[in-house]
């Protein structure tokens, strides 16, 4: 009787989770249930699985609406009917078209119209009218009193009780972006969508048993005979599995010769064993489709990085999917693929953020749009977000909402009634799905049309997305190909292009073996001078490189892994640093010396876990990888980790190991849970890091320009410009005669692009360089105004940033004459001519501006000054002496004061749950240094935005890396803007 049930995936409408819905049905002995979420199929498979577990007959469908108006409910008779519903919804959703008032003539779908549609005189065999309990009396006086075969029970199920109805009303207000008091009846479900028990429903419809019979028969006639975990990803690349096997073997053997030469016995042996397992598990097509994707990218000149566990495969290395040599790093193929694995292997393919969409478009067209889709993720309400949304619904002022967010964990007992309600209901909706987002890179390629499994939506980028996430996809047998994007590859590609354009040099960025031996690369790596370089530029990583004195590939691979939370929090990172720097230590057991001698007895990688579980406890490599998979957090079976723990400890007992040693080894394994890196993953990152390091070492200014233009990395643009200045660049504000839309470099001069200017119109800015190339440089501002159509606001931005400084006139002079030029142009609408007449200069008053005023203009328009921020500092008093970073070695263990410009902060929690921070600064000479702020300092001396701080603290030395443990801090003021003398800036 329940053929119109909503879960929370009726977004901002439904209140019940799928589990709550199914549990409710089980509690009241309801034999069949239909999930008909509004324009959504996200919960479909969880619903089917849970219903089967409870012995409930599941029916799938969808509710169609135009805005708040219910049109009809569609119920799938079978799998084909589900596909018909998905295709119909997706067609209209992609085109942003409203749904027709009348449903199409589906062949395998039942349609239930609301009772208000009773004026319809003809209903086809598959169409019915739904009668709500409140409408049952109207049947007697309608034409359908004698046509009860077309009537069914329509009792929507959206919530259970009054609290659920309140939550529903709040969600509807959020959806409409209105105050709760403004929510109209037509925008929400009435109390009639609450749960009514089966016996009560039968009593309500007791005078019309035919309606009850029709409803039960309709649900009975619907089925969803879906088989979970059956392979549904595209099964062939060539069209035939045998041909796939032959092609993969051919490509792999050619690749072995290319990578290792014609007579490398170990490479051939490993490759042949891998191919046997790939064929046994039927993953040939997965390899070939990934190879095809990479091959396409290479044909377009795109750079890529193949990472993830796929880098454990010599076949992947020989196909060019990855550049990590598994023989060089002694990587386990079983970490990637083993005979007991049922899901496909994991290839993560990174392209530049500028190229990824092109690759996705190729995949969609190559394997048909109808059979491919991007994966969705569920964007859910978090506590902060739900407080803000509900605060607006209840009409709270922004200041009060901000206060509620800040003090949500320790609410003020004096809060108003409305504020208490906001906090109460925000906790209730926390975790509710809000909208669908796009997975970072998952693409599904199916043998069957995607709409056989899900409806799809079409986000602005133009690629369809499923309604389910990666976990559901895996459960139903659709396994993703990961096509990811990152800015680091954009840095590399842009730098190569800039060097070729400016210096005429061609760089082979794939010559990584040469980069690993380069002395200049080793030098900047050892010193941690890696700002701008992919994955090794954060303050924490730069500090770690310095402590390790890292100057080789294998140490960098290890650094990429030990900095991860699992290793760091367990104390193993500090142990690794000490042992790497020569501290003596004892192996807990001689077997661990054999297994972990490369990492000083410490498990650093997921592969180390496999080594220990296999070589120490004696479990098979396949069993060891199953443990690794349970440990990684990818498994949805929460009890699996405990089962594997017992298996490991029992195996150790059988071998007679000391219980304390076994427990300590397990502690290390457990600390990896959810955070560990595979060695192949770290090695993939390290390869890209060496490419960035080489470019920075040999083409530092071009490299930093590329970093700025790709807007990516750990730091803001200001810090990358600072680094470029430290490397010898002269940084210039945008200039209409030199700059382009993006930042450009000429010799050692870096000219900021117009893209960095706040509120600058893109079309106007992008017209400047082509016009300059067509007619030559601009002679003066008058010439610019004649040739570039723009408003007074846009011209003011250019004047204030100094884009006309080549004229020799001050900004006040240019601002004074600006309106005369614009007025003259407006009154002289002459046709465009090839040679423009020269205009006379105006007689201007003696108006000047100062560098300090320029800096304030830059801070407003760029977000930072181009000069050193220390140039803007108020004079320090005589008693404010301070040291420089270069002086730190002389003051180890002593309290000093240092003046620093704040770069970034990172907040973390102590073992007691208290807040502590790590901060990064640069001093007057531009050298960066780290500061540690313990909880008492964090509480007493909060940061007040970016600026210059006078820091007091103790100098500490960790293996040659010097930093400050802060005890006090004070922010120092900038000189005020002379144009606003009374304004205190920087407080």
Q: How much is the pLDDT for 981?
A: 57
pLDDT at residue 627 greater than cutoff 80:
no
Q: How much is the pLDDT for 340?
A: 65
Q: How much is the pLDDT for 833?
A: 44
Of 105-109, 245-249, 336-340, minimum mean pLDDT range: 336-340
Of 119-123, 250-254, 290-294, minimum mean pLDDT range: 119-123
- Quickly state the pLDDT bin for 719 (edges 50, 70, 90): very high
- Quickly state the pLDDT bin for 676 (edges 50, 70, 90): low
pLDDT at residue 840 greater than cutoff 50:
yes
pLDDT in tens, 729-750: 999 999 999 999 999 999 999 9
Question: Mean pLDDT score of the chain, rounded to an integer?
Answer: 90
- Quickly state the pLDDT bin for 831 (edges 50, 70, 90): very low
- Quickly state the pLDDT bin for 640 (edges 50, 70, 90): low
Q: How much is the pLDDT for 606?
A: 78
Query: Which helix (H) or strand (E) covers residue 768, if one does?
Result: helix 762-775
Cβ partners under 8 Å of residue 702, min gap 6: 495, 498, 499, 502, 503, 695, 745
Of 63-72, 508-517, 681-690, which one has max mean pLDDT?
Answer: 63-72
pLDDT at residue 342 greater than cutoff 80:
no
pLDDT in tens, 535-546: 999 999 999 999
Q: How much is the pLDDT for 338?
A: 63
Q: Which residue has the tokens 């990064």?
A: 920
> In three state form, how does the secondary structure of 266-284 look?
HHHHHHHHHHHHHHHCCCH
pLDDT in tens, 444-470: 999 999 999 999 999 988 999 999 999
pLDDT in tens, 756-791: 999 999 999 999 999 999 999 999 999 999 999 999
C-alpha 871/C-alpha 853 separation (Å) is: 12
C-alpha 750/C-alpha 766 separation (Å) is: 18
Q: How much is the pLDDT for 834?
A: 45
If one compares 875 and 948, the residue with the highest pLDDT of the two is 948
pLDDT at residue 987 greater than cutoff 50:
no
Look at the chain and count its residues: 987
C-alpha 113/C-alpha 151 separation (Å) is: 10
Of 642-646, 873-877, 947-951, minimum mean pLDDT range: 642-646
Average of pLDDT values for 658-666? 90
C-alpha 812/C-alpha 780 separation (Å) is: 15
C-alpha 388/C-alpha 365 separation (Å) is: 42
If one compares 844 and 649, the residue with the highest pLDDT of the two is 649
Q: How much is the pLDDT for 721?
A: 97
Beta strand pairing call for 928-933 and 961-972: parallel
Beta bridge partners of 952: 897, 968
pLDDT at residue 344 greater than cutoff 60:
yes
Average of pLDDT values for 648-668? 89
Under DSSP, is residue 788 helix (H, G, I), strand (E, B) or coil? coil
- Quickly state the pLDDT bin for 844 (edges 50, 70, 90): low
pLDDT in tens, 432-448: 999 999 988 899 999 99
pLDDT in tens, 471-503: 999 999 999 999 988 888 999 999 999 999 989
For residue 931, with 0-12 CB atoms within 10 Å meaning exposed, 13-18 middle and 19 or more buried, which class applies?
buried
Q: How much is the pLDDT for 399?
A: 87
Average of pLDDT values for 929-950? 94
Query: Which helix (H) or strand (E) covers residue 164, if one does?
Result: helix 162-176
Q: How much is the pLDDT for 664?
A: 86
- Strand (E) positions, 419-516? 433-445, 481-486
Average of pLDDT values for 553-577? 85
Beta bridge partners of 74: 62, 111
C-alpha 443/C-alpha 438 separation (Å) is: 10
pLDDT in tens, 182-222: 999 999 998 889 999 999 999 999 999 999 999 999 999 99
Residues 359 and 351 sit within 8 Å (Cβ to Cβ): yes
pLDDT in tens, 61-82: 999 999 999 999 999 999 999 9
Beta strand pairing call for 348-352 and 481-486: parallel
Q: How much is the pLDDT for 838?
A: 53
If one compares 956 and 141, the residue with the highest pLDDT of the two is 956
Average of pLDDT values for 12-40? 96
pLDDT in tens, 878-937: 777 899 999 999 999 999 999 999 999 999 888 788 899 999 999 999 999 999 999 999
pLDDT at residue 306 greater than cutoff 50:
yes
Q: How much is the pLDDT for 741?
A: 96
CA–CA distances in Å: residue 96 to residues 83, 84, 99, 101, 915: 20, 18, 9, 16, 47
């Amino acid at each position: 009787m329940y053929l119109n049930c909503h879960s929370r995936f009726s977004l901002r409408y439904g209140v019940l989770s799928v589990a709550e819905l199914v549990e409710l049905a089980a509690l009241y002995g309801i034999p069949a249930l239909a999930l008909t979420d509004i324009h959504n199929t996200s919960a479909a498979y969880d619903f089917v699985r849970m219903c089967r577990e409870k012995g409930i007959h599941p029916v799938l469908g969808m509710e169609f609406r135009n805005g708040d108006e219910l049109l009809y409910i569609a119920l799938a008779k079978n799998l084909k009917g589900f596909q018909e519903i998905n295709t119909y919804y997706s067609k209209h959703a992609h085109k942003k078209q409203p749904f027709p008032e009348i449903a199409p003539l589906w062949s395998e779908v039942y349609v239930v119209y609301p009772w208000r549609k009773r004026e319809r005189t003809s209903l086809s065999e598959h169409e019915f009218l739904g009668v709500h309990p409140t409408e049952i009396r109207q049947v007697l006086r309608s034409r359908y009193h004698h046509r009860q075969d077309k009537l069914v029970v329509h009792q929507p199920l959206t919530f259970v009780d009054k609290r659920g109805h309140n939550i529903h009303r709040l969600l509807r207000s959020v959806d409409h972006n209105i105050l709760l008091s403004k929510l109209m009846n037509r925008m929400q479900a009435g109390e009639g969508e609450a749960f009514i028990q089966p016996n009560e429903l039968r009593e309500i419809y007791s005078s019309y048993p035919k309606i009850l019979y029709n409803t039960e028969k309709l649900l009975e006639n619907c089925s969803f005979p879906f088989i979970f975990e059956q392979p549904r990803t595209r099964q062939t690349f060539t069209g035939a599995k045998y041909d796939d096997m032959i092609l993969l073997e051919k490509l792999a053997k050619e690749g072995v010769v290319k990578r290792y030469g014609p007579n490398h016995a170990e490479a051939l042996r490993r490759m042949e064993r891998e191919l046997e397992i790939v064929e046994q598990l039927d993953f040939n097509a997965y390899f070939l489709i990934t190879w095809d994707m990479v091959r396409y990218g290479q044909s377009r000149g795109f750079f890529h990085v193949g990472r993830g566990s796929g880098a454990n495969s010599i076949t992947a290395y020989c196909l060019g999917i990855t550049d990590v040599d598994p023989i060089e790093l002694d990587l386990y193929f079983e970490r990637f693929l083993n005979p007991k694995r049922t899901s496909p292997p994991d290839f993560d393919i990174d392209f530049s953020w500028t190229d990824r969409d092109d690759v996705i478009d190729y995949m969609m067209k190559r394997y048909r749009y109808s059979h491919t889709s991007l994966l969705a993720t569920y964007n859910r309400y978090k506590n902060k977000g739900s407080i803000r949304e509900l605060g607006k619904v209840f009409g709270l002022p922004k200041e009060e909402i901000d206060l509620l967010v800040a003090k949500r964990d320790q609410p003020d007992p004096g809060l108003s009634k409305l504020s208490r309600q906001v906090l109460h209901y925000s906790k209730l909706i926390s975790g509710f799905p809000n909208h669908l987002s796009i997975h970072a890179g998952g693409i599904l390629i199916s043998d069957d049309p995607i709409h056989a499994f899900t409806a799809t939506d079409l986000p602005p980028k133009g690629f369809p997305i499923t309604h389910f996430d990666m976990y559901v996809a895996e459960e139903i047998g659709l396994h993703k190909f990961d096509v990811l994007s990152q800015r680091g590859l954009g840095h590399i590609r842009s730098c190569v292009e800039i060097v070729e354009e400016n210096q005429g040099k061609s760089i082979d960025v794939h010559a990584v073996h040469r980069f690993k031996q380069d002395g200049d690369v080793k030098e900047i790596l050892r010193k941690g001078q890696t700002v701008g370089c992919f994955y090794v530029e954060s303050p924490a990583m730069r500090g770690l490189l310095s402590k390790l004195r890292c100057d080789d590939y294998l140490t960098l691979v290890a650094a990429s892994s030990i900095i991860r939370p699992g290793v760091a929090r367990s104390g193993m990172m500090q142990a690794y640093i000490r042992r790497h720097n020569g501290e003596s230590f004892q192996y807990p057991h001689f077997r661990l010396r054999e297994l972990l001698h490369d990492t000083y007895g410490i498990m650093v990688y997921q592969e180390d876990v496999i080594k220990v579980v296999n070589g120490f406890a004696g479990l098979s490599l396949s069993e060891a990888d199953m443990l690794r998979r349970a440990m990684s957090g990818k498994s949805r079976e929460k009890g699996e980790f405990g089962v594997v723990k017992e298996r490991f400890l029992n195996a150790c007992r059988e071998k007679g190991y000391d219980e304390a040693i076994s427990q300590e080894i397990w502690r290390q394994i457990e600390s990896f849970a959810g955070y560990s890196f595979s060695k192949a993953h770290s090695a993939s990152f390290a390869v890209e890091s060496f490419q960035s390091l080489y470019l920075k070492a040999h083409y530092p200014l071009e490299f930093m320009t590329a970093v700025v233009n790709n807007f990516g990395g750990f730091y803001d643009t200001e810090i990358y410009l600072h680094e470029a200045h430290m490397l010898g660049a002269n940084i210039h504000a945008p200039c209409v005669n030199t700059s382009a839309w993006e930042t450009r470099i000429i010799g050692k001069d870096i000219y900021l692009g117009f893209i960095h200017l706040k509120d600058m119109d893109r079309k106007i800015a992008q017209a400047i360089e082509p016009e300059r190339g067509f007619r030559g440089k601009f002679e003066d501002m008058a010439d610019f105004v004649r040739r570039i159509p723009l408003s007074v606001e846009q011209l003011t931005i250019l004047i204030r940033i100094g884009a006309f400084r080549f004229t020799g006139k001050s900004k006040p002079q240019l601002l004074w004459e600006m309106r005369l030029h614009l007025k003259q142009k407006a009154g002289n609408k002459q046709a465009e001519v090839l040679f423009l007449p020269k205009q006379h200069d105006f007689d201007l008053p003696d108006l000047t501006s100062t560098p300090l005023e320029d800096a304030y203009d830059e801070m407003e328009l760029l977000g930072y000054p181009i000069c050193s921020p220390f140039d803007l500092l108020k004079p320090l008093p005589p008693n404010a002496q301070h040291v420089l970073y270069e002086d730190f070695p002389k003051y180890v263990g002593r309290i000093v004061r240092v003046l620093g410009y704040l770069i970034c902060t990172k907040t973390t929690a102590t073992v007691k749950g208290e807040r502590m921070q790590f901060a990064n600064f640069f001093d007057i000479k531009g050298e960066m240094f780290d500061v540690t702020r313990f909880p008492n300092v964090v509480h007493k001396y909060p940061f007040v935005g970016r600026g210059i701080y006078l820091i007091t603290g103790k100098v500490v030395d960790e293996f040659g890396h010097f930093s400050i443990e802060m005890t006090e801090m004070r922010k120092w003021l900038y000189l005020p803007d002379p144009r606003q003398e009374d304004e205190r800036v920087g407080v």
